[in-house]
Every structure is written in C-alpha cells, then in structure tokens.
Amino acid sequence: MPSYKATLEYLYAQLPMFQRIGPAAYKKDLGNTLALCAHLGNPHRQFRSIHIAGTNGKGSVSHMLAAICQAAGLKTGLYTSPHYKDFRERIKIDGTLIPRQRIVAFVEEHRTAIESIQPSFFEICVAMAFDHFAREKVDIAIVEVGLGGRLDSTNVITPLLSVITNISFDHMNMLGDTLPQIAGEKAGIIKPGIPVVVGETHPESAPVFERTAQEKQAPLTYADRHIRIVPDGATDWTSSDFRVFENKHLLANHLRVEAAGPYLARNLATAIQAWLTLNRSEHPDWLPVAPAKDQVIPLIGTGLHNLRARTRFIGRWQVIGRQPVVLCDSAHNEAGLTTVLGHLEKSTYPQVHLVMGFVNDKSVDGVLKLFPAGARYYFAKANIPRGLDAGSLRDQAAKHGLHGRAYTSVRQALKAARRAAGPDDLILVTGSIFVVAEVLPERQKNSAAQ
C-alpha cells in the first residue's frame, strides 16, 4: 500500500486540478462524475443532502448549516473546496477530516477505474466524498458547489434543499460575462419539486431564478425578503451577537456566532432561511432524528455558538495575530473585496498594511481599484502555478496609486509587514485563498482523523 504522501502526489500529478492550473481543469459535463459514481455503486444516492451554490458566501453558509445539523444530533457530512492547509479539509464528518488511510485505500482500490475514466482532480474528490459519506452512513451531507452549478461535479445529487447564496462576477471566462448568464449556471442546481432558497435578491438574477423555479415547480424563497439580522451589542474579532427577525417577528435574541466579518449577517440570514425551509417542508420525516418544532430555533444558536470548533471553519475573517492585529480573509473577487475593504474604510487604525496576491487567470484591474491608496502594500505570489507574479502585481497596482514592494513569498511579505507595523496597526492578508493558506497556522491535530 503506498503512503499517504505518495497518494496525494499521484492525485496532484495525474489529474487536472483547477486549484493549481485553472480553467484548463474545468470539465463541462457530468459524464466522468456519473461514470465514477456508477463504478462506486452510486453512493450519492445513499444519503440525504443540501446543495449550496453561489458566487460568495457558499463556504460560510455550508459550515453554518453543518454546525446546526450537528447540534441537532445529526451525523453530518461536509464537502467544501478548495482546501487551505490539508487536502482532507474537503471531506469532513462532524468536523473530523477524512482519515488518511481512507484516501489511500480509495485511490488504490479504484485506480484502474480512475485511469480508465480519467476524471479531473475535482471529479475524483467529489466521488471520494460521496463514497465516504455513504460508507459512514451520514444522516445528511452539506455539499458545496465547486464552480458554477449546472455542470459542476456535485450536481449529480438530488438534495432535500438547494441553496444559492448570491450572484456576482467571478470566473466569467467559464460561467459567462453577464449576471443573468452566471445566474443561469447557478440555477442549474435547482431540481424538480425540490425547494430552493436564494440568499440575496438582485434585479438581474431574480428573473432567472424565478423562471427556472417555475419551470421545475420548485418552491422558491428569498432569504433577504424574510430574514433580518440586527447586530446585538459589541462584536469582537472572533464572535458576533445578533437579533434575528422573520417578517418582523423576533426569532432569536442574543444569537452568538463564533465568526465575524462584514458579510456575516448576509450569510447568516441565508443559513437560517435554509434551516427553516428544511424544517417546514412537506416531508416532516426528512431525517430520522428531525428536531422537535420547539427546538428548530434554539438549535441554530447551539450550533453557531461553536461554529469553528464544530466544523473547522477557517480562512474567513480569521485573526492569526495580535498587536498588531493580523487578519486573514480569502475574499478574491470584486463583490467579496468590496465588502471587506468597505469595512476597512470605517476603521480607525493608525496604518493598514495589506499583504496581497492573486491568481493569474483573472484580470485584477477591476479589484485593484477597490483598494485604499493610503495603505502600505506587500505584494506576493502564492506558491501555485496559477499565482500572479509579485512584480507584475506591483506594477499593475502602481497604476492605481497602490505602492509597495514585491516579495519572494507570502510568508516573507507578512514578515515584512509585521516588522513595519506598529502595535495598534492592522495587517490584512487577502486576494486569494491560496495567499491566505500560506500564512494560516497549522491545524490542531485530530487523532481520529490521522
């Protein structure tokens, strides 16, 4: 039996991987996934699921729903992508990473089929997750779309609920360059008769969702038309308190979420609406241990109070240092960065230091114009083939009045920022999940997952 390291090297070397090479790895049909799942005995049909798509926020909403389901006593699978520090972050059950030996055994057992079907890296990850969830007999799996929706490898499931967080511009070279086109790809996860929750109403995407839902006879709910989230007291870097209203009715007071950030309220509204829709569906026996009616709301608080601990939620608005505060956030497109940087504009830090890097298959002009000219910049290339050269980024940024130095690595850039920053300053590491991944602390060992 090969080692875990050798198995990962095989996966990375033999299979096209979007995380590393970008659009060339994107497969525009579900044929490989269906063939691989058929070979595995169709594990995706052996557990209940919730399917989550969207331009931004789908990872946060996925983790929130997983935490709530865990609090309800459900054995909960969670599939997300990409990973930050460890491949196994993609596949978790009740917060425990898939065991290394399971990955090794999966690849060895099915290597002949893999080499015959020739799936992409993402396609094999999806199949591996479904196989793991089926073997472990999860009560429910929260499945995050990787890219788009209609042609995403995860779109072979028939979930209990479909969720689309929001629509904005990202991956236009693959999903389309207008919001209706992008919405059309996301709407591809809507299934006949299956309820769908859309997080945010947008005049260009709403007609697309409404038309698709009507065609599929799928009950459609917009979270932002029913759920209102109001800050409740002071918010620190690691947790937030809210009051939650549904159609002016107070659902929860002093709801504490183990997370923070300017986008948190919107994602929270989507997750709460999804949970309520699921529990109010016409199928009260949707799970073997569905919560009692009087526990539907309390379970939200129980789950989210320990969100990070329950689900290993990392990389979004995560503080990794104090004096100065070092904040990591993997916002990477115009909508995400607008939210994060808009929050910085309201800050009172003596100086903001920005460690940043991007991938090279997206135009950065649109996002560079969002960054504050008064910050100090530390440009770096993420250690992946898709990383944008730090010198090139520095030169492009200068055209927008953003000045700083280029560094040989993200860690070197962060070290320089720490040296330059005063104890009351703020350092933000952002621009790409791959940039953030390089400075996050190594995860705590979990013996059950080794």
- Where do the domains of the chain lie? 4-313, 318-437
Gap between the Cα atoms of 114 and 7, Å rounded:
13
- Percent of the chain at pLDDT exceeding 90: 70
pTM: 0.92
* Nearest of 176, 183, 177, 182 to residue 208 by alpha carbon: 183
Do residues 199 and 335 touch, judged by C-beta distance below 8 A?
no
Instruction: Give percent of the chain above pLDDT 70.
Output: 91
The domains spanning 4-313 and 318-437 adopt the same CATH topology: no
- The whole-number average pLDDT for the span 108-126 is 93
Top CATH class, 4-313: alpha beta
> Which residues neighbour 296 within 8 Å (Cβ) at sequence distance 6 or greater?
275, 276, 279
- Number of other residues whose CB lies within 10 A of the CB of residue 251: 17
pLDDT tens column, 273-297:
999 999 988 665 667 777 888 889 9
CA distance 233 to 206: 33
pLDDT score, position 170: 55
DSSP state of 330: -
The CA distance from 13 to 15, in Å, is 6
- Asked whether 338 and 373 are in contact (CB, 8 A), the reply is no
- Residue that wins the pLDDT comparison between 175 and 11: 11
What pLDDT is attached to residue 41? 98
Phi-psi region at 356: left, alpha or beta (left = phi > 0; alpha = psi -120 to 50): beta
Confidence of residue 427 (pLDDT cuts 50, 70, 90): very high
In eight-state DSSP terms, residue 378 is: E
pLDDT range class, residue 18, cuts 50, 70, 90: very low
Per-residue model confidence as pLDDT tens digits over 32-45: 999 999 999 999 99
At 75, is the secondary structure helix, strand, or coil? coil
DSSP reduced 3-state for 49: strand
Please give the Cα distance from 213 to 190 (Å, whole number): 7
Helix (H, G, I), strand (E, B) or coil at 172: helix
The class that CATH gives domain 318-437 is alpha beta
pLDDT band at 124 (very low <50, low <70, confident <90, very high): very high
State both tokens at 167.
């629509």
Is residue 173 over pLDDT 50? no
Are 175 and 200 in contact by the 8 Å Cβ rule? The answer is no
Alpha carbon distance 23, 211 (integer Å): 29
**283 C-beta neighbours (distance < 10 Å), count:** 9
Average confidence (pLDDT) over 115-140: 95
Query: In angstroms, how far apart are the furthest CA atoms of the chain?
Result: 59
Are 334 and 360 within 8 A, CB to CB?
A: no
Mean pLDDT, rounded, for 73-89: 95
Compute the distance between CA of residue 265 and CA of residue 275 in angstroms, rounded to an integer.
15
Per DSSP, the residues of 310-377 read HH---SSSEEEETTTEEEE----SHHHHHHHHHHHHT---S-EEEEE--BTTS--HHHHTTS-TTSEE
